[in-house]
Amino acid sequence: MKKGIYIILIGLTLTLNSCSVYNFTGTGKIDADTFQVNYFQNNAELVEPGIERTFTITLQEILQNQTSLNLTNQGGDLLYEGEIVEYRITPMTATSNQTAAQNRLTIAVMVRFSNKNKEEDNFEKRFSFYHDYDANEQMTGTRLTTALDEIFERITQDIFNESLAKW
């Protein structure tokens, strides 16, 4: 009987001690207090006005929502910078009349991440995602907003995972 209680206590102790290393978002212990997200310029050949601001804000929000880090305008322990390098609409499937039945919006972002407290975590990497839509629809208004929300949610989560989650 005593042996069973000791095993439970040891298991409970190990479980509680391991919780201090990870939090619910999957990030390990972050060796930083602040982060900085510089404005991501839109350098894509096809330019959709305003998406650079939307992307920058979306990246800031995911970092604020999933960490306890403080956003700063300069001198952040973690620095995210880069540019939007691709905004492209391509036909995906064709009809019997040889017209597009479905299009794909693809956006790619080049990100440079710097951790001034742990330089081995630094990287420069391209992240991209897409949204498929009916070719009869125009990529404007709510259709565009929905597509950007979906694409930016995926890209910013991928950036978060690459820079902080360390799965």
Please write the tens of the pLDDT for every residue from 70-82: 999 999 999 999 9
Q: What are the pLDDT digits (tens) for 3-56?
A: 555 555 455 454 444 433 334 444 556 789 999 999 999 999 999 999 999 999
Q: Answer yes or no: are the C-beta atoms of 115 and 166 closer than 8 Å.
A: no
Instruction: List the one residue out of 117, 120, 114, 121 whose CA is nearest residue 31.
Output: 117
Q: Answer yes or no: are the C-beta atoms of 136 and 93 closer than 8 Å.
A: no
Write down the pLDDT at residue 67: 94
Instruction: Give residue 152's identity as a one-letter amino acid code.
Output: F
Write down the pLDDT at residue 23: 42
Largest CA distance in the chain: 78
- State how far the alpha carbon of 133 is from the alpha carbons of 14, 86, 112, in Å: 49, 18, 30
Write down the pLDDT at residue 98: 66
Write down the pLDDT at residue 135: 87
For CA atoms 90, 93, 94, 99, the dihedral sign is negative
Q: What are the pLDDT digits (tens) for 89-111?
A: 998 876 666 666 899 999 999 99
Phi-psi region for residue 26, left (φ > 0), alpha (ψ -120 to 50) or beta? left
Domains detected in the chain: 30-165 (3.30.160.150)
Report the alpha-carbon angle 25-80-120, nearest 5. 80
SS3 120: helix
Q: Does the reported pTM lie above 0.85?
A: no
In this structure, the dihedral spanned by the alpha carbons of residues 23, 26, 31 and 37, taken in order and rounded to 10 degrees, is -120
